Structure 1
Amino acid sequence: MAINLTPVDRAKYAAARRAVDLVEDGMKLGLGTGSTAAWMVRALAQKVRDEGLRLTCVPTSARTADLARELGLRVVPFEDAGWLDMTIDGTDEFDGNLALIKGGGGAHLMEKIVATASDRMVVITDASKEVKALGAFPLPVEVVPFGWQASRMLIEELLAAMDVMGTQASLRMNGSRPYITDEGNHILDLSLGRIGNPRQLSLALNQVPGVVENGLFIDICDAVVIGFPDGMVELRDITSGTVEHERILFEDTENIFSDV
């Protein structure tokens, strides 16, 4: 099976496998959303089956919840779990300080809530997501449907005074209709090119009327696991200042990803 995976999928799988090695029996986990997080959920379910772990999982989207339940993981509502030990999630971009842009999958509001209610956030990714400066990936901003046009206008005015290269805000669409988040909101994608001061921008965006949350994750991620197509992984832990390297074997991918 592994030989049929694309190089990017092999890298994502390697990162997911290394991240679930950090999971211990009895943990309460936040499960991220997106294509990379889906690899992690599958690898986590396999680990639970192999080792008999007792875990409590809080998903960050309806689709993650559906996948986790389908694979036999114990899923509970966030309010029933309380404080979490760790959240494992993907990212759309990350920089050298482990600041992130998330929300390409439309779940950054729940992802940010869950991640900040965890002792640790571990991000799994491939090397292509690392950037010197955030902003090449469009920055998602979740807004309430009422008056979203006014929110967009205010955001574009705000961006003109920020250290960014672009100021265009586009309504995310799902076919011919606006994309709707799990919370019933819209998403504006900001084409910025480069973000000179992510912290300042994040604070300013959340002051705009109608904005619920933005996709900048600042001082939230504690470690990143970077996967490579040959099975090598790099674990950077910003809290301890350590960097570890390891190789993941692919021989068991047929069992884990037989439905992919």
Structure 2
Amino acid sequence: MPKSTSSSDAVKQLKKEVGIAAAKRVQSNMVVGLGTGSTTAFAIAELGRRLSAGEITNIVGIPTSFQATVLGKQAGIPIRSLDDVDRIDIAIDGADEVDPNKNLIKGGGAAHTREKVVDSLAAQFIVVVDQSKLVDKLGTTFDMPVEVLPMAIAPVTRAIEKLGGQPTLRMGVRKDGPVITDQGNMVIDVKFEGGIDNAPELEKTINNIPGVIENGLFIGVTNLVLVGELKGDTPSIREF
């Protein structure tokens, strides 16, 4: 087997293991925030399996994206909106970067606005990642996404450049034109040379720019991180 295929299979297995581990923390009668992305997809599938097997009952899912809605329905999880519930007991979501303080960059799937709403409301927010997503400093391996009203792309871009960022409009893959979010907005990916020095301050500053809907910095939101790691050839789950 080619090395690249073997490596890809190992990462997929890590994502599956950590997604299942998070899903096992859900108990009957819970309202569950359903995150977006490849790792969370495994958690949603496991929740569906547990429901079908009768291991848990009477849960409902609050999706963070169209993808999460579809996967939740396919798994047999009753889907509700925030209008229908008065609480979220637990949210399970992935991340593109996690620093030692459990702060995150999210938004690789352009769903960070809805994710931040749901994840911030949860009594417990669990982040599921493989070991490649751990960083010493945010912004060193993944650019910070910013969701922007289409009419404000030009002024927001100029404002971000004044803050020292290097913004790029995210373009679609295998389609012409920019990525459009579930809310009908556009995404700017912002690179900061050397990473982000003061993420809590930058989160507020970016969100105060008129035309910005939300950015991908998640500061002080995470309760628990489950990390899938390989020890030799054996997948393991580490908590922090």
Q: TM-score with structure 2 length normalisation?
A: 0.91
- In the TM superposition, residue 4 of structure 1 has moved relative to its aligned partner by 11
Q: Which moved more, 1:41-50 or 1:58-67?
A: 41-50
Q: 27, 31, 38: which one pairs with 1:24?
A: 27
What does 1:79-118 align with in structure 2 at a 5 Å threshold? 79-118=83-122
Please name the residue that 2:222 is paired with: 221
Identify the match of residue 150 of structure 2 among 136, 145, 152: 145
Match of 1:44 in 2: 47
1:127 corresponding residue in structure 2: 131
Tell me the amino acid that sits aligned with residue 33 of structure 1: T
Residue 189 of structure 2: aligned partner:
189
Per the alignment, residue 204 of structure 2 pairs with 203
Distance of 1:41 and 1:53 partners within structure 2: 15
The secondary structure found in structure 2 opposite 1:122 is strand
Matching residue's letter, 2:96: D
Gaps of 5+ in 1: 161-166, 237-260
- Residue 47 of structure 2 contacts residue 75 of structure 2 at CA under 8 Å; is this kept in 1? no
Structure-to-structure mapping, 1:133-172, within 5 angstroms: 133-135=137-139, 136-158=141-163, 160=164, 167-172=165-170
- Report the TM-score when normalising by structure 1: 0.84
- Matched with 2:213 is 212
Q: Percent identity?
A: 36
For the Cα contact (< 8 Å) 2:147–2:185, is it kept in 1? yes
Aligned partners of 1:10 and 1:224: how far apart in 2? 17
CA distance in 2: counterparts of 1:107 and 1:82, whole angstroms: 22
Cα contact 1:151–1:210 (8 A) shared by 2: yes
Letter in 2 for 1:46: R
1:69 and 2:70 matched: no
Report how many residues are paired.
227
| 8 Å contact kept, 1:56–1:81 | no
- 1-side partners of 2:150 and 2:8: how far apart? 39
- In 2, Cα distance between the equivalents of 1:111 and 1:10? 24
| Residues 140 and 214 in structure 1, CA contact (< 8 A), matched pair in contact too | yes
Q: Structure 1: how far apart are the matches of 2:107 and 2:84? A: 25
- Distance in 2, matches of 1:35 and 1:119, equals 23
Answer whether contact 1:93 1:131 (CA < 8 A) is retained. Answer: yes
CA distance in 1, matches of 2:82, 2:36: 15
Query: Cα deviation per residue 1:8-60 (whole Å; 9 max; x = unaligned)?
Result: 01111111111112111000000000111111111111111121422010000
CA distance in 2, matches of 1:86, 1:38: 16
Task: In structure 1, give the amino acid aligned to 2:207.
Answer: N
